[in-house]
A and B are shown apart, each in its own frame.
Chain A
Amino acid sequence: MSTSAPALGMAGAEPIDPATGAPYRADHLLIAEMVAVGSRVLDVGCGDGALLQLLADTRAVDGRGIEVEREKVNACVARGLSVIQGDADADLTDYPAQAFDYAVLSLTIQATQHPKTVLENLLRIGRHAIVSFPNFGHWSVRAKLLLTGRKPTTRNLPEPWYLSPDSHLCTIADFVDLCADIDAEVEQAVAINTWGRRLPINRSIRLQNLFGEKAVFVLKGRD
């Protein structure tokens, strides 16, 4: 990892997004650590632009965003970010191959209509793809399903099944299978626990799948 920008530790005082006053999300901080300084990044589903702002401020990144909600797009542009209104399913096909160093999809893949196509597009557009998602294999999810017999809701996935935009929830193990299926190389896989801390069990997918609340994967297409 390049290091000329300030390191963003997961512990200690929480860094704050100056535009919204909210603390940066744990997966955003983790992504910021993974991205090389000065690289070109496309953030798909960039929301209010928190990650793009963080990357611009701490990693000198040349960032672009795609966001589906109009109000969020306008907020991003008003704070000086380069963001277009669009969505991962429809608009990724417009971009040329290898246009970015990283194509990022943070906590969005589960809400896309065609996660496999979206992931293939990310790997085509970016030299690397960084994907974070809520892990539906977390022990608490498994326990809720086992004990209540109903689709679990969690802090990350609060809506009941009939309201949830997340039509394609997956576990870390499921995601690893998809990566194998589309022949993507997993360069890095990190799970975060409930407190936003990186799990110390990086090597075992099985344990990450049980104790990781969210996962961040760095992928690369095989040539």
Chain B
Amino acid sequence: MTLTTQTPATTANTPALRQARAPAGKAVTLDASEPLRLESGKTLAPFTIAYETYGELNDAKSNAILVCHALTGDQYAASVHPVTGKPGWWETMVGPGKPVDTERFFVICSNVLGGCMGSSGPASINPATGKPYGLDFPVITIGDMVNAQVRLIDHLGIHELFSVIGGSMGGMQVLQWAAKHGDRVFSAIPIAAAAWHSSQNIAFHEVGRQAVMADPEWCQGSYLSHDRNPERGLAVARMAAHITYLSEDALHRKFGRNLQNRDDRSFSFNADFQVESYLRHQGSTFVDRFDANSYLYITRAMDYFDLAAENNRVLADAFRGTRTRYCVASFTSDWLYPTRESRKIVQALNAVAANVSFVEIESDKGHDSFLLEEPELFATISGFLNAGAMKRGIALKPEDKA
């Protein structure tokens, strides 16, 4: 397989686009009477949030956990993805008997605002024009994503979330929840996250966006109206980004300098090396399920994230007076959201005498470790959630009520 031989598919009726406009799972649309005020000053109305839930809400509505997904994740954390048919992206963490135990907790996972799995985003139809938004979709922030989630939680009739948990961009949402809606968050678990996007991270995102925008199929963002799709650009963006999610050690262990299906070099630009073949596969499968403009919008939202900025660069002030219990986790080999970024969060929380736990997990699998089977991480999160659930009086199973 090579990228260069692919013919760009038409987009009008791909499985991914169908999901963007009519998700297979749950969705709530808030009409024009309840516009979402965005950080940019614009408003969005109506808007839709697509979500999935797992487990049952107890009578006290005290056992809800919001799972926040990362850049290219979606609401299918613990159920089959309707486009790829693959298991949920966090099935190791969320499910019956798992650390986020769906027999005990009511788990909500929503597609972020700007996403392409059913929540309002650039692939959605703009009600004002009847055409896909494309670049007419307003630029959104992590704060806007969280405000949309707040609306969803309101809609579900839940006042306080027992916990908000997420890795990477999901961790940013967790921090935003705790900083801005602390009275509604009993505990917060930001994993492999940061309180602001570093300039290195912005730089990688810019490479990805430029790859998309350099693809002539992108059509200045209006490819959906022209029945085209910047697949090659998006695949390159994904390939570059994927490298940042791994580590040198993990890549070396997995691929070394091994050749792909051949005994010697081909003296061409085919995918001679296994690592090339792997990255091309990552790129080509990604474009089947993800919208290129969504990728631009969500990476932008991450770039803009900076919890210290509105507090005169004193991060601690973002958390002053917090009553939320925190469990911060990082991974030794994560160079995209390194441990020192988690430590900055912990230092800020200590400075306001918050209740905080912090673990650094030994793993050579890089940033993506948060998605993988990491027993130390699981033990940490189980222990943290159990201790909180006991304090909060949440029974092991909702029907076990005293």
Contacts and interface: CB of A to CB of B under 8 A. Distances in A.
B359 A80 contact: no
A64 B349 CA distance: 12
A95 interface: yes
B39 interface: no
Contact of A83 (B357, B362, B376): B357
Contacts of B360: 70, 73, 85
Contact of B350 (A62, A77, A84): A84
Interface size band for B: 20 to 34
Contacts of B296: none
A121 B288 CA distance: 56
A94 B379 contact: no
B362 A70 contact: yes
B357 A84 contact: yes
Contacts of A96: 351-353
A36 B327 CA distance: 27
Contacts of A81: 357, 387
Interface residues of A, number: 22
B384 A77 contact: yes
A80 B355 CA distance: 12
Interface string A75-92: 011111111111000010
B325 A74 contact: no
A178 interface: no
A8 interface: no
Contacts of B356: 64, 82, 84
Given A74-B376, A94-B347, A82 B353 contact: no
Nearest to A83: B357
B380 A84 contact: no
B357 A95 contact: no
Contacts of B328: 84
A78 B383 contact: yes
A80 B383 contact: yes
A29 B380 CA distance: 27
A99 interface: yes
B346 A84 contact: yes
A200 to B, nearest CB: 39
Nearest to A95: B350
A84 B355 CA distance: 10
Nearest to B378: A78
Contact of A82 (B325, B351, B361, B379): B325
Contact of B351 (A73, A74, A94): A94
Interface in B352-382: 352-353, 355-362, 376, 379-380, 382
A79 B327 CA distance: 13
Contacts of A78: 379-380, 382-383
Nearest to B385: A80
Contacts of B277: none
Best-buried of B327, B353, B355, B357 by chain A (most CB within 10 Å): B357
Interface in A49-64: 62, 64
A85 to B, nearest CB: 6
A83 B356 CA distance: 7
Given A80-B384, A94-B347, A95-B350, A74 B359 contact: yes
Given A78-B379, A85-B360, A94-B347, 4 more contacts: A73-B359, A78-B383, A82-B357, A83-B357
State the 5 A-B residue pairs at the shortest beta-carbon distance, nearest first.
A80-B387, A78-B383, A84-B358, A99-B353, A94-B350
Interface of B: 325, 327-328, 346-347, 350-353, 355-362, 376, 379-380, 382-384, 386-387, 390
Interface of A: 62, 64, 70, 73-74, 76-86, 91, 94-96, 99-100
